[in-house]
Amino acid sequence: MASSSLDASSKANILAEALPYIQSFHSRTFVIKYGGNAMTDEALKAGFARDIALLQLVGMRPVIVHGGGPQITGLLERMGVKSEFRRGMRVTDAQTLEAVEMATAKINQEIVGLINRSGGKAVGLSGQDGRFIQARKLLLPPEAGETEPVDIGAVGEIERIDPEVINLLQSRSFVPVIMPIGVGTDGEVYNINADLVAGTLARSLDAEKLILMTNTPGVLNKAGKLIPSLTLSEVDGLVADGTLSGGMLPKIGSALDAVRAGVKSAHVIDGRVPNALLLELLTSEGIGTLIRPDGGPHFLTDSQRYFGDL
Ligand SMILES: Nc1ncnc2c1ncn2[C@@H]1O[C@H](COP(=O)(O)OP(=O)(O)O)[C@@H](O)[C@H]1O
Ligand SMILES: CC(=O)N[C@@H](CCC(=O)OP(=O)(O)O)C(=O)O
């Protein structure tokens, strides 16, 4: 946010602008999804960790859910395995699941380490810890030409999130850093899209905001221009006319589910912008796309409907 080239008065103005946000967001929970596509650069990752440490130190309660899609794909390539996706979900056989666990665990510890080195207090966990992300096998509803639901292996959908372990960590001022792995009733391990974990978690924790950090300036219109603000009902049209596609669909589905469930707003922001989080949370401008309620018709009744609509 502040650059060393700024004079003292500009720096003071920036701090003064941040103050009301720091006051009103004190003790509030922010679920931040850190997408694999936003963490390609080491300096950016370190900057993200510093921003998280700063938010924690001023009394806010960030909770991080990270992805790792490109990193998982990279590891599989090195193992000589080609990645396959169905409707945005990775087809996950036993070998792929192993790679998902390895790659996401590595990212998890890297983020935890960077936050801790920046003066924050972070703890890494997967949905297996305390069984807090309870999942079941996801079967994709049949589309045109298909008669049966589609089985894509060990991919999970969330049955329930038990927020107890997160509440406990937050009560002791730790920042939870969560990898997108869920557990079934018999201990089966599931690979879950990280956007879906973040959206459900934001609902369970009654978060102030859900912030989705990715590799685009926000939600773009057909001409490629940033849409600064969207209401729930406006999103329907963007899905119907194909403006939103691919990785943006689970993101928007999660954002809408969260906002409909009472999270005050969701934001899609560009994680490649230095200090993107601070700009979004502590300045009047904000960046990216804000998604907010409108009292209009609801998009997506549940994640099943999202999968069915693809
Ligand atoms: N209307 C849209 N606006 C912005 N991005 C879009 C849109 N429709 C599709 N996308 C795609 O969604 C991608 C972000 O999702 P994804 O690749 O899954 O990122 P992440 O790893 O951060 O979850 C963008 O890079 C872009 O290719
Ligand atoms: C089921 C499924 O597709 N899971 C994702 C989990 C990681 C993820 O969501 O990473 P990003 O947020 O970086 O895309 C995967 O295997 O790629």
All domains of the chain in start order, with CATH:
26-309 (3.40.1160.10)
Q: How far is the CA of 220 from the centre of ligand 1 (A)?
A: 9
- Round to whole Å and give the CA distance between 12 and 14: 5
- 237 marked among binding-site residues: no
Please give the Cα distance from 284 to 207 (Å, whole number). Answer: 20
pLDDT at 221: 96
Q: Which ligand is nearest to the CA of 271?
A: 1
pTM to 2 decimal places: 0.91
Nearest residue CA, atom 10 of ligand 1?
248
The residues, ordered by sequence, that sit 6+ positions from 79 with a Cβ below 8 Å of its Cβ are 95, 99
**Could you give the CA distance from residue 54 to residue 279 in angstroms, rounded to a whole number?**
13
Q: How far apart are CA 239 and CA 245, in angstroms?
A: 7
| Cβ pair 290, 219 in contact under 8 A | no
According to the annotation, is 13 in a ligand binding site?
A: no
CB-based pocket (< 6 A), ligand 1: 35-38, 67, 69, 195, 214-216, 219-220, 243-248
Which protein residue has the closest C-alpha to ligand 1 atom 15?
Answer: 247
Residue 255 and residue 268 in contact, taking contact as beta carbons nearer than 8 Å? yes
What per-residue confidence (pLDDT) applies to 4? 57
- What does the pLDDT read at residue 100? 98
Q: Which atom of ligand 1 is nearest to the CA of 246?
A: 9
Which pLDDT score is estimated for 295?
57
Is residue 104 within 8 A of residue 68, CB to CB? The reply is yes
Look at residue 301 in the predicted model and tell me its pLDDT: 33
The closest residue, in CA terms, to atom 15 on ligand 2 is 69
Closest ligand to the CA of 90 = 2
Consult the annotation and say whether 69 binds a ligand. yes
218 belongs to an annotated ligand binding site: no
Written as tens digits, the pLDDT of the chain (310 aa) is 445 567 887 777 778 888 999 999 999 999 999 999 999 789 999 999 999 999 999 999 999 999 999 999 999 999 999 999 988 899 999 999 999 999 999 999 999 999 999 999 999 999 999 999 999 999 998 888 889 999 999 999 999 999 999 999 999 999 999 999 999 999 999 999 999 999 999 999 999 999 999 999 999 999 999 999 998 889 888 988 999 988 898 899 999 999 999 999 999 999 999 999 999 999 887 799 999 887 543 333 333 333 333 3
